[in-house]
Amino acid sequence: MTTGFDSEAGNVAEDVVRDVAQGTARDASAHPTANPTAHAALDEALEEAVRDAGLTLRPAAGHIGADIDGVDLADGLGDAQVAAIRAAVLRWKVVFFRGQRLDHAGHVAFARRFGEPVVLRRRGSASPADFPEIETTADRLELGGRFGMEHDEWLRRRRHTLLRGWHCDHGARVDPPAATILRAETVPPYGGDTTWSNLAAAYAGLSAPLRRFAGQLRAEHRLGVGYQPRPGDDAYVRHLLDHQVASVHPLVRVHPETGERILNVNGYYVEQITGLSRAESAAILELLLAEATRPEYTVRFRWEPGSVAFWDNRATIHLAPADNAHLGFPRTMHRVMLTGDVPVGVDGKPSQPVTGTEPGRW
């Protein structure tokens, strides 16, 4: 089984990124995220790869996000284009394509150039039956009703803190997806933006003592963290008990392709830092999540029909919109996730499954 951004053209992108990043990953102060000289060298190499592929790349924010133009994703990609896009994702963590005309088949074909798509065992009725690799995010609107709640109540009970919505995809698994490719079909005329944050930049931005401390820690990531049960019988609580998913991940993971150190926190799945009291854990996680979501590490994307976002799920967290549900406009998105590997900490030790998850089994 392949994991990560595997492709026939992968070696080119690896050369672009690793020449600068991997050899310096042991020292965060030397990492391109924190070192302007290294950053400039990496950007120069990436620009050359993009130019050789006939593409144009425009950074969208200081630490994360870039727009890529000059390619029709539905036409199929050459190896040079695959390598350049892959390198851009590794460098900028999320890249955006506008005005694309991908259908479901084209979406899956594009994803396969970069890795093995995840096939979920359970999807909602909005997802296309003939394309098991695609999950339609309109399915999310069905979830509250499935458990006897209106969608607004469903969101309110799940979001116990202001930062609760920040997440990586399927972070409670022992092998979260390596990447996600999200395509917009129908979007509201306003509202509905998505925001991403760069967890490599967040780690590099910590003080050296805090980086060292965080690198020693592990935390349990669990589905359903912080859910506020309904009075009496709650169908979602019963669902969580019957479908528990949890893993213990390093609080700082080493990126398997770039060697970057990633602050592996989110507001959606992280339950508790192992070995610490609940009070100690809560205070430290609150601090680290606040650092991970500082505005300077983020980029916000305004969707249009045909837009595609491609992000590194190992190095980012993202925030789905919460400003459009009351507007009544439809928002239909389709996503394909690429299979990932088991995270490894700075001590070389991998994540461990707790319950309901094993590598490669979806």
Q: Among all residues, which ones are annotated catalytic?
A: 167, 169, 318, 335
- Side chain identity at 349, as an amino acid letter? K
The sign of the CA dihedral 33, 35, 36, 40 is: negative
User: Given the structure tokens 């991970």, which residue do they identify?
Assistant: 292
| E strands in 1-93 | 56-59, 66-69
Let me know: does 12 contact 350? Beta carbons within 8 Å: no
183 Rama class: left (phi>0) / alpha (psi -120 to 50) / beta: beta
Distances (CA, A) of 120 to 16, 112, 226: 33, 16, 24
DSSP 8-state class, residue 74: G
Query: Using CA atoms, how far apart are residues 256 and 253, in angstroms rounded to an integer?
Result: 9
Let me know: does 193 contact 124? Beta carbons within 8 Å: no
Q: 41: closest CA among 20, 11, 15? A: 20
With both helix axes pointing from N to C terminus, report the angle between 36-52 and 10-18 in degrees, rounded to the nearest 10. 160
| E strands in 199-250 | 218-222, 246-250
Let me know: does 221 contact 247? Beta carbons within 8 Å: yes
Give the number of other CB atoms < 10 A from CB of residue 99: 11
DSSP codes, 171-186: TTSSS--SEEEEEEEE
Question: Which two tokens mark 157?
Answer: 């009970």
| E strands in 255-347 | 261-263, 270-273, 298-301, 308-312, 316-319, 332-338
Torsion of CA 201, 206, 207, 213, to 10 degrees: -120
